[in-house]
Amino acid sequence: MTQKGIAIALGGGGVKGVSHIGVLRALTRNGFDIQAIGATSMGALVGVLFGLGYSPNEMEQVFHHLKRTGYSGRDKHSEPAFLGLRRFEKFVREFFGKKTFHDLKIPLIVTATEIEHGREIFIRDGLLVEALLASVALPGIFPARRMMNMDLVDGGVLNPVPVEAARSLVDAKTPVAAVVLTAPLGVPATMERIVLPRIIPRWLARRIKRLRFVRAIDILLLSQDMLNRAITKHNLDSSKPDLIIRPNVAHLYTLDTGYVTEIALEGDSAVRHVLPDLLKLFPNSAEEAIPHEPRPA
């Protein structure tokens, strides 16, 4: 059977990115050969794990672990940020150590945004840890990363689903699938609520959230979410992936921790949903997969 080669773009979206695990699992199970990955933010973490050869189960274990330890925490040396990424950084440093892009079994581009001039940057060599920390740096929330004389933040700022990055790694015949985690425009927004530390009792949190000042921040975040969806739409309109896969995760908050296994399963079911369209991209192998039955006379 001919291999169904495909390139894939894994979008950003914090905890929603866990659904990428299910997408990759379902694609592999259905005989697709993932030949290249373009990834940003949490998509980059999943992409790197997949590229190093970790199984879907092992990837889920990584997220279970991160859920236990948490991601945030500030340290004195990092760039200014509201939450900081101390625990996440500690974890990825221990887990990936000195591994570089050369250790990957699949070509991979991790994207980040250069904040000074607003450019999308493709990272394709060097330490995996450095690329990851730049790509997940949600502006203001997590510290910007200084690399190659640039201040880098989350690649999702300018391009939430790096389709061009994935496409640049394969020949023109190979289809590119985009895994999109942001809600489409026009769907009511999920309030990207301010996440208060759990130490604050619920009654106090309720009061804080009713403060006029906090509600103003809410509106700011809400409109940023819309801006992000508008950018996603325009990007997809111009980059034209061959297929869009949308796991049903729009209701999750980016900084939630969530149920790892369940979120991953949303990825599997999203692939099941588009499987007929996906097979249409491979007319030849589809024929092999479904042999012609001689029609009864």
Partner 1 sequence: MDISLALGGGGSKGNAHIGVLRRLDQHGFNIRAIAGTSFGALVSAFYALGYPPDEIEATFTSFDQNKIFGHAPEDEPSFMGIAGGAEWLEIRLGGKTFADLKIPCVLTAVDLNTGKEMLLSEGNLLDAVLASAAIPGIFPARRIGDMELVDGGTLDPVPVAPVRALAPNLPVVAVALNAPMGEPAQSWSLPRPKYVPQSIADRLSKMRYAQAIDVVLRSVDIMNRAVSEYRLEVDKPEILIRPAVSDVDTLEQVSISEIAKRGEKAFDDVLPELMSLFAWHKRLARTLNSWSQP
Residues at the interface with partner 1 (CB under 8 A): 79-82, 113, 115-119, 139-141, 144, 153, 157-158, 185-189, 212-213, 215-217, 219-220, 222-224, 226-231, 234-235, 237-238
Closer to partner 1 by CB, 170 or 189: give it.
Answer: 189
Nearer to partner 1, 188 or 276 (CB): 188
Assigned token pair, 226:
């819309």
Give the shortest CB-31-to-partner 1 separation in angstroms. Answer: 36
- As measured in angstroms, the least distance from the Cβ of 255 to partner 1 is 14
Nearer to partner 1, 61 or 223 (CB): 223
Minimum Å gap between C-beta 48 and partner 1 is 23
Alpha carbon distances (Å) from 21 to 18, 28, 81, 227, 236: 6, 11, 29, 27, 22
Q: In whole angstroms, how close is the CB of 220 to partner 1 at the nearest point?
A: 3
Cα Rg, the chain, nearest whole Å: 20
Please answer whether residues 127 and 100 qualify as being in contact, where contact means their C-beta atoms are separated by less than 8 angstroms. Answer: yes
Q: What whole-number distance in Å separates Cα of residue 45 and Cα of residue 42?
A: 5
User: Which CB, 200 or 226, lies closer to partner 1?
Assistant: 226
Query: Which residue number, 152 or 260, has a Cβ lying nearer to partner 1?
Result: 152
With 0-12 CB in 10 A as exposed, 13-18 as middle and 19+ as buried, what is 87? middle
Q: How far is the CB of 86 from partner 1 (least distance, A)?
A: 14
